Amino acid sequence: MIKGIEVHGLNQRENYKLQFNEDINIFTGKNGSGKTTVLKLIWYLISGNIEKVFEEIDFKYVKLEGDKYSLEIINQVDVAENSMTNNIEDRHTNIIFVHNDTKKHYEIPTLLLNRVTRIPSKRNSIDFINELNHEISEVSGGSIFFPTFRRIEGGFSMGNNNGYMRAERFQDAISSISDSLSTSNHTFITSVSTRDIVDLLTRHYANISEQTNKLHIELSTYIESKIKTYSEYSKDASYTPVQTDKGLLDNANQILHEIQEELVQISTKRESFLKPFTVLSDLINQIFQHKGIKVTDKITLGETKEAMFSDKLSAGEKQMLSFLCYNAFSQNSSIFIDEPEISLHVDWQRTLFPTLMSQSSNNQFFVATHSPFIYSKYEDKEILLSEDRGGY
């Protein structure tokens, strides 16, 4: 969980010290108040993209607090005089990372962080940046980031080859952005499409199928061992006929009882594995006009007989389905959504976060929005970054 952030000199003018809720945090404010910048700053830090902070965000100081770590960055420090400097060659950045009571303190040439130069003599500094990116991305758990420029499939089709090629090139371009920013446990979502949803659900369905098969093998092995035990007991000639009959009956009852208990445990585990799909199906049935969505030949969410193919959904439906799916298969993660209201009808804007919270994935949400239909639901979770919200 992310506990809070303190940042000074954001965009050369803003200072914030923010404490976060464990469930949902909603950033509001006028255009230019820094909502998107704060979201990006937090996500770049936890996802192992520290160099992107220096490329895209203007700040003097930031401290991020997690439940298991803290990361503090003091930007543009003159090492010789311990003061701010205008000489870019003298600028260094102090980075302090604390995890499990272990404190690491490094001074990195700011030129390296800005990728202005690649000096061989600074190899140790580059190695540290890579090491720090990896370490913090691991200890911070998992995360998902939905930017405002995410491409939401739906609405129009390309009627000629040139249009199709342009769409493919655009898809490739935004996919490359996602690939460059996503790390081991942290995903940057640049496209909300049928293909993405199918890939996500197919991957998790295959994983659950594998786990379920292992349970079946485990159960079969257990039953075989119990039958073998019973068979060996029944062949024991040291008992009298009366003792043997009674013993066989008692032993059989005991074995049946143990097998029944094992069946219950296996069934409970299987239900736990399938829970994300079960919850998804229930929600599809409740909130979508079509009570079922056919994702693949093997995967249908909701009612099968009324299922609609996922590629026929509207842009808003794909957006909602994407939020539900990523939330379902992310546990104890941080989910960042910039302007979740994009393509969503106001009714779904009202119900979006109550619905996501009902999935009980124990995720922490960070949301930037202009929609009163979203922030009015959670007045105690709102973080206002300007004197007023602007807009509505």
Closest CA to 46 of 163, 140, 154: 140
- Do β-strands 143-146 and 102-109 pair in parallel, antiparallel, or remain unpaired? unpaired
**Cβ proximity of 81 and 74 under 8 Å:** no
Residue range of the domain that includes 73: 2-142+335-384
Domain membership flag for residue 174 = no
- Domain's final residue, options 312, 346, 367: 312
**Cβ proximity of 300 and 293 under 8 Å:** yes
CA angle in degrees (0–180, nearest 5) for 311-159-197: 20
Alpha-carbon gap, residue 363 to 23, rounded angstroms: 7
Residues 216 and 295 in one domain: yes
**Cβ proximity of 64 and 42 under 8 Å:** yes
Claim: this prediction has a pTM higher than 0.85: no
If one counts the domains in the chain, the total is 2
Domain membership flag for residue 248 = yes
Residues 6 and 103 in one domain: yes
pLDDT at 321: 93
How many secondary structure helices (H) and strands (E) does the chain include? 10, 18
Q: Which residues of the chain have pLDDT under 70?
A: 76-91, 110-125, 151-175, 230, 233-248, 251, 389-392
List the structure tokens of 193: 């499409």
Residues in CB range of 328: below 8 A, 6 or more apart: 276, 277, 279, 280, 359, 361
User: 153-173: string of b/e by CB count within 10 Å (b at 16+)?
Assistant: bbeeeeeeeeeeeeeeeebee
Task: Write out pLDDT tens, residues 329-387.
Answer: 999 999 999 999 998 999 999 999 999 999 989 999 999 999 999 999 999 999 999 87
Task: Write out pLDDT tens, residues 102-137.
Answer: 898 888 776 666 654 444 545 566 777 888 899 999
